[in-house]
A and B are shown apart, each in its own frame.
Chain A
Amino acid sequence: MAIVSMRDITVHYGKNAVIDGLSLEVERGENLAIVGPSSCGKTTLMRALCGFIKIARGEILLNDGVVSSPSRRIMVAPEKRNIGVVFQDYAVWPHFTVFENIVYPMRKRKVPKEEAKERALAAMAQVKMQDFADRLPSQLSGGQQQRVALARALVSSSELIVLDEPITNLDAKLREEMAYEIRNLQKTIGVTVIYITHDQETAMTISDRMVIMDKKGAIRQLGSPEEIWNHPKDRDVYAFLGVSNFLPLLNENGSLHLVSSSGKRKFGGLGADIPEDFGSRLLLASRPTDIRVTPLPDAAGGVEGVVERVTYLGHQFDYFVNVGGHTVRVQEDSLEAFGRGVPAEGSPCAVEFLKPAVYEADPLDPRFDL
């Protein structure tokens, strides 16, 4: 049973439609990440769900009850929707202590004093803030404030929590810890979590399902992290998920050619099927870790290229390889690179694409104009 249903919703800011006809179901107890580039309407979606803004069309259901529906003139107030929210800027009240902040939602929902205190203390322990009960937010670091906000959201709803970019302002180590914590909380308490972020990596660590939104505020792909990572629906999703290389290919009656600065070059051994309905202009997509670079004399296959730069990062090597006028980024595990021999800068090499994906190219793609 879906806890949240958004049906064909449209949201306007002024005259612009930020979200236009979006539909989404969130299953009870799942951990859903909504991912997309900045200003794609993720936060707007969250605000519409929480009842901070009106939708212009469509309807939103919570627990199968309609909470927003302009056509039926329904607009349930935010305080009656029972959603815990962690805001992007934490929104921890500066004039309340940590404890007062966390106990506030229960005070408003008339939880008996003793029980409220108990639950607040438990929530503080969950986010490891139990030693800071009497501090004011101004005496806390950003990460600590964020944890207070999280504890407050946890006590304010046992059903649904929305987190808007909750850990992006933390340093890398704390971010990892908090991401793990959030996933853990959700698994132990069973609350439904909607996690909004522009950082696809954290989204993948945390979520059961991911929603990829595009700049126009529409959903591009919905699925488990594995599904999306392994089968990005189109080249935008592919590009959004991480560092990616795209090479322009021309499909001339089944034989492939790379468009390079020195004209067309035969491109053999793609290792991926090309759907029949694709046109002649294709893009080969490949992750840096899925490319193998071999010094030329020993090469068994692949296309020719020149290693332009080699960077040693400790755990891995970064290569910038020029393949027919296109720069291809390659990452190789250090151990493997030392075993196989590190190519010298300026040396010719063969480049093999191990797990490529193929997409149809945009008709205006500049990569074809070399």
Chain B
Amino acid sequence: MKFFLTSMFGRETSRGDRRFGLDRIVFLLSLFILIVTVLMPMLMIVVRTFFKGTQPDWALFTRVVMAPENLSAIYNTVKIGFFVTLFGTVLGLFYAWLIGRSDIPMKGLMKALFTIPYMFPPFFGAMAWSLLLAPRSGYMNKWFMQLTGSTSPLLDINSIGGIVFVETCYYFPFVFLQVVSALERMDPTLEESARIAGAGQWYVIRKITLPLVLPAIAAGAMLILISSLSHFGVPAILGFSNNIFTLPTKIYQLINRSAGSFDGIREGAALSILLVAVVVIALYIQRIVLKTGHYDIIKGKSMRPMLIKLRGAKIPLLGISLLSLFVIVVVPLFMIFIVGFLKAYGLPLTLQNLTLRNYEYILGQSKMVRDSIMNSLFLSVSSGVITMFLGVMIAYVVIKVKPRGKGFLEMLSLLPYSIPGLVLAIGVILVWSGAFGINLYNTIWIILIAYIARYVSFAMKSASASLEQVHYSLEEAARSCGATHLESLRDITIPLIRPGMIAGFFLIFLPAMRELTTSVLLYGPFTRTLGVAIYAINSEGNTVQASALATVAIGIIIAGHFALRYVTRDRKGL
């Protein structure tokens, strides 16, 4: 640590100290923010787990790891993660191939539909499917029982299988989008030359196409795995009633039950370490299984690939794709939308059972709901702005200033990417509930801090992408024209990355608007967020109101997406 500090605060930088003032300030400031928001929470989790006061204490961790209920939670987490990754990858791959390499019609429509699950939080899907397939009250199960006279439901969504199904529906686009873009950028002559050399269609897919897109598959599968292992919403909504727990839901239950007592939080911290360990091990195993190679033959520009003629299979495959899209995208949205207008949950879906009363209640009478919308808007906008600027600062230091210690800064900013939101929340509680003399517990500021930590990776990646487009000679040209360092940033660099900054803002604003995992541990009586409000109303059994509020959230998210589209549309001159 001592060496580290001297190297970081030492005078020398690799590009000279001509920018000593401003660049150094930017570097130290972003480093400070990251240490406080990202590193300290992580360290506090470790410290609190293994130390009681100042005494080392291993007993807690061993007890937590060995508890049978926690072991079964680990088992469930891994099982769900495995199957979601497996099914999600297969599904994503199949659709990617169909859209990227076959002559199936209606590609534009399908591509647009596939990106929709991206936009909505998976726990909306869990709510929607529970409306259809809850064992006794689900509409589909009721119709089935009425039709067949059977007393057992058709399907039970409150099961491991149900959780896997809903998560798969929401996470397969990760693989789909990665692979489609890799296929589009792949030089089609690579496949064509194999065909010319006498290879058959299937041989080409197995031996040429698949290995070439393997890195894209691996990247997408990794995203699915991380997301599923640390996912809270779906298992919380579908699993609690049947006592199916995963590590994230277990952590939530523990903290919730202990009502903020210190021992409860310590135990939650120990479980968090377990969850992080599971994520790390899973990623490591996956790295071994799918050794990612780098293939330069995937080019940046898009080319026209050779399309495979589906012939007789075209119509059936189109049918299957449209049907599955209908089930994955349209059905849940429709259910939430329609149930939001029902007088009471369980009533048949007929016109005379519809009402606007739910909206009247949530938007008019319920102060809690109105507060939650305001809270979420405040949190999303402020964390969007702050994190976006933080991301620009970090990216600027990493890409342009390149001081010693930039690797550490970069690592800190990308760390939250693979840290589950719940774990981050616990760390934030440990740091900001008085341990260092500042108590923000139950205020909106603690949620804001957690959001900043959670989304800084997005902001940093998006800012890096646009900063890399600004060649350093553009800034140097301004300097040689008489602009100071600050002026060259203000006149040249910032205007050039402004569109990227606005896009970066929305990349934070949108997920923050529907955030549940982190805020569910951090909210206080007056600081509920939109996600928490929907979740709470739903778990209290007020399904119709929860659906109405979810519809409102969907409206806000769609509006945000249109705004994002508008700001990232093709720009002249850049």
Which residues of A line the B interface, CB within 8 A? 14, 50-54, 75, 77-79, 81-85, 87-89, 91-95, 104-105, 108-109, 136-139, 149, 152, 156
B198 sits at the interface (CB 8 A): no
Q: Determine, out of B132-140, B297-305, B443-451, B469-477, the stretch whose residues face the partner at the interface.
A: B469-477
B106 sits at the interface (CB 8 A): no
B491 sits at the interface (CB 8 A): yes
Residues of A contacting B478 in the complex (Cβ-Cβ under 8 angstroms): 93, 104, 108
Residues of B contacting A83 in the complex (Cβ-Cβ under 8 angstroms): 480
Q: Is the pair B18, A79 in contact by a Cβ cutoff of 8 Å?
A: no
Closest 8 CB pairs of A and B: A108-B482, A105-B481, A54-B16, A91-B477, A78-B479, A136-B573, A91-B473, A85-B480
- With A78-B476, A89-B471, A105-B482 as contacts: A53 and B496 at CB distance below 8 Å: no
Cα A95 to Cα B498 with chains together (Å): 11
Chain B residue nearest to A80 (CB atoms) is: B482
Chain B residue nearest to A138 (CB atoms) is: B573
Q: Is the pair B476, A91 in contact by a Cβ cutoff of 8 Å?
A: yes
Known contacts A50-B480, A156-B482, then 7 further A-B pairs from the complex at CB < 8 Å, ordered by chain A residue? A14-B14, A75-B17, A85-B480, A109-B482, A136-B572, A138-B572, A138-B574
* 18 A-B interface contacts by CB (under 8 A): A14-B14, A54-B16, A54-B17, A54-B18, A75-B17, A77-B18, A77-B484, A78-B18, A87-B477, A95-B495, A108-B481, A109-B482, A136-B572, A136-B573, A138-B572, A138-B573, A152-B481, A156-B480
B487 sits at the interface (CB 8 A): yes
Q: Is the pair A85, B18 in contact by a Cβ cutoff of 8 Å?
A: no
Cα A79 to Cα B19 with chains together (Å): 13
- With A75-B18, A95-B574 as contacts: A52 and B496 at CB distance below 8 Å: no
B489 sits at the interface (CB 8 A): no
B492 sits at the interface (CB 8 A): yes
- Which range contains the number of B residues in contact with the other chain? 20 to 34
Residues of A contacting B483 in the complex (Cβ-Cβ under 8 angstroms): 79, 104, 108
Q: Is the pair B476, A79 in contact by a Cβ cutoff of 8 Å?
A: no
Q: Is the pair A137, B479 in contact by a Cβ cutoff of 8 Å?
A: no
Residues of A contacting B496 in the complex (Cβ-Cβ under 8 angstroms): 93-95
- With A79-B484, A136-B572, A136-B573 as contacts: A53 and B15 at CB distance below 8 Å: yes
Residues of B contacting A81 in the complex (Cβ-Cβ under 8 angstroms): 480
| A178–chain B nearest beta-carbon distance, Å | 19
Residues of A contacting B495 in the complex (Cβ-Cβ under 8 angstroms): 95
Residues of A contacting B18 in the complex (Cβ-Cβ under 8 angstroms): 51, 54, 75, 77-78
Cα A51 to Cα B495 with chains together (Å): 24
- With A95-B496, A95-B574, A138-B572 as contacts: A156 and B474 at CB distance below 8 Å: no
Cα A82 to Cα B478 with chains together (Å): 12
Cα A108 to Cα B15 with chains together (Å): 24
Chain B residue nearest to A164 (CB atoms) is: B473
Cα A88 to Cα B574 with chains together (Å): 20
- With A84-B480, A105-B481 as contacts: A89 and B473 at CB distance below 8 Å: yes
Chain B residue nearest to A86 (CB atoms) is: B477
Q: Which of the residues B16, B477, B484, B487 comes within 8 Å of A93, measured between beta carbons?
A: B477
Residues of A contacting B473 in the complex (Cβ-Cβ under 8 angstroms): 87-89, 91
Cα A209 to Cα B105 with chains together (Å): 67
Cα A94 to Cα B574 with chains together (Å): 6
Query: Which B residues between 210 and 260 are near A, CB-CB below 8 angstroms?
Result: none
Residues of B contacting A53 in the complex (Cβ-Cβ under 8 angstroms): 15-16
| A150–chain B nearest beta-carbon distance, Å | 12
- With A54-B16, A54-B18, A87-B473 as contacts: A79 and B479 at CB distance below 8 Å: yes
Q: Which of the residues B14, B482, B573, B574 comes within 8 Å of A79, measured between beta carbons?
A: B482
Q: Which of the residues B471, B484, B485 comes within 8 Å of A91, measured between beta carbons?
A: B471
Chain B residue nearest to A82 (CB atoms) is: B482
Residues of B contacting A138 in the complex (Cβ-Cβ under 8 angstroms): 572-574
Chain B residue nearest to A111 (CB atoms) is: B482
| A210–chain B nearest beta-carbon distance, Å | 24
Residues of B contacting A137 in the complex (Cβ-Cβ under 8 angstroms): 573
Q: Is the pair B482, A52 in contact by a Cβ cutoff of 8 Å?
A: no
| A349–chain B nearest beta-carbon distance, Å | 48
Q: Is the pair A75, B477 in contact by a Cβ cutoff of 8 Å?
A: no
Cα A91 to Cα B481 with chains together (Å): 12
Cα A152 to Cα B482 with chains together (Å): 12
Q: Is the pair A91, B487 in contact by a Cβ cutoff of 8 Å?
A: no
Q: Is the pair A78, B573 in contact by a Cβ cutoff of 8 Å?
A: no
Q: Which of A53, A77, A78, A87 has the most CB of B within 10 A?
A: A78
Residues of A contacting B17 in the complex (Cβ-Cβ under 8 angstroms): 54, 75
| B446–chain A nearest beta-carbon distance, Å | 40
Instruction: Write out, one digit per residue, whether chain B residues 341-368 have a CB within 8 A of any chain A CB (1) or not (0).
Output: 0000000000000000000000000000
- With A51-B18, A53-B16, A89-B471 as contacts: A79 and B480 at CB distance below 8 Å: yes
Q: Which of B477, B481, B487, B572 has the most CB of A within 10 A?
A: B481
Q: Is the pair B476, A50 in contact by a Cβ cutoff of 8 Å?
A: yes
Query: Which B residues between 262 and 303 are near A, CB-CB below 8 angstroms?
Result: none
Cα A89 to Cα B483 with chains together (Å): 19
Chain A residue nearest to B470 (CB atoms) is: A94
Chain B residue nearest to A139 (CB atoms) is: B573
Cα A341 to Cα B405 with chains together (Å): 73
Residues of A contacting B572 in the complex (Cβ-Cβ under 8 angstroms): 136, 138
Cα A348 to Cα B198 with chains together (Å): 52
Q: Is the pair A52, B479 in contact by a Cβ cutoff of 8 Å?
A: yes
Cα A269 to Cα B496 with chains together (Å): 67
- With A53-B16, A136-B572, A138-B573 as contacts: A78 and B471 at CB distance below 8 Å: no
Instruction: Write out, one digit per residue, whether chain B residues 486-506 have a CB within 8 A of any chain A CB (1) or not (0).
Output: 010001100110000000000
Q: Which of B16, B477, B479, B495 has the most CB of A within 10 A?
A: B477
Chain A residue nearest to B480 (CB atoms) is: A85
Cα A100 to Cα B340 with chains together (Å): 55
Q: Which of the residues A51, A88, A95 comes within 8 Å of B573, measured between beta carbons?
A: A95
Residues of B contacting A54 in the complex (Cβ-Cβ under 8 angstroms): 16-18
Cα A74 to Cα B432 with chains together (Å): 46
Cα A242 to Cα B495 with chains together (Å): 45
Chain A residue nearest to B479 (CB atoms) is: A78
- With A77-B484, A79-B482, A156-B480 as contacts: A91 and B474 at CB distance below 8 Å: yes
Cα A156 to Cα B474 with chains together (Å): 15
Cα A137 to Cα B16 with chains together (Å): 32
| A72–chain B nearest beta-carbon distance, Å | 15
Cα A75 to Cα B487 with chains together (Å): 19
Residues of A contacting B14 in the complex (Cβ-Cβ under 8 angstroms): 14
| B485–chain A nearest beta-carbon distance, Å | 8
Residues of B contacting A94 in the complex (Cβ-Cβ under 8 angstroms): 496, 573-574
Cα A77 to Cα B471 with chains together (Å): 20
Residues of B contacting A52 in the complex (Cβ-Cβ under 8 angstroms): 476, 479
Cα A85 to Cα B476 with chains together (Å): 9
Chain B residue nearest to A137 (CB atoms) is: B573
Q: Which of B18, B471, B484 has the most CB of A within 10 A?
A: B18
Residues of B contacting A79 in the complex (Cβ-Cβ under 8 angstroms): 479-484
Instruction: Write out, one digit per residue, whether chain B residues 308-352 have a CB within 8 A of any chain A CB (1) or not (0).
Output: 000000000000000000000000000000000000000000000
Chain A residue nearest to B574 (CB atoms) is: A94
Cα A82 to Cα B482 with chains together (Å): 7
Q: Is the pair B574, A156 in contact by a Cβ cutoff of 8 Å?
A: no
Chain A residue nearest to B475 (CB atoms) is: A91
Q: Is the pair A108, B487 in contact by a Cβ cutoff of 8 Å?
A: yes
Q: Is the pair A75, B16 in contact by a Cβ cutoff of 8 Å?
A: yes
Cα A70 to Cα B17 with chains together (Å): 11
- With A93-B474, A95-B573, A95-B574 as contacts: A77 and B479 at CB distance below 8 Å: yes
Chain A residue nearest to B13 (CB atoms) is: A54
Q: Which of the residues B477, B484, B492 comes within 8 Å of A85, measured between beta carbons?
A: B477
| B86–chain A nearest beta-carbon distance, Å | 46
Cα A185 to Cα B546 with chains together (Å): 75
Residues of B contacting A91 in the complex (Cβ-Cβ under 8 angstroms): 471, 473-474, 476-477
Residues of A contacting B479 in the complex (Cβ-Cβ under 8 angstroms): 51-52, 77-79
| B473–chain A nearest beta-carbon distance, Å | 4
Query: Which B residues between 1 and 22 are near A, CB-CB below 8 angstroms?
Result: 14-18
Chain B residue nearest to A157 (CB atoms) is: B480
| B281–chain A nearest beta-carbon distance, Å | 37
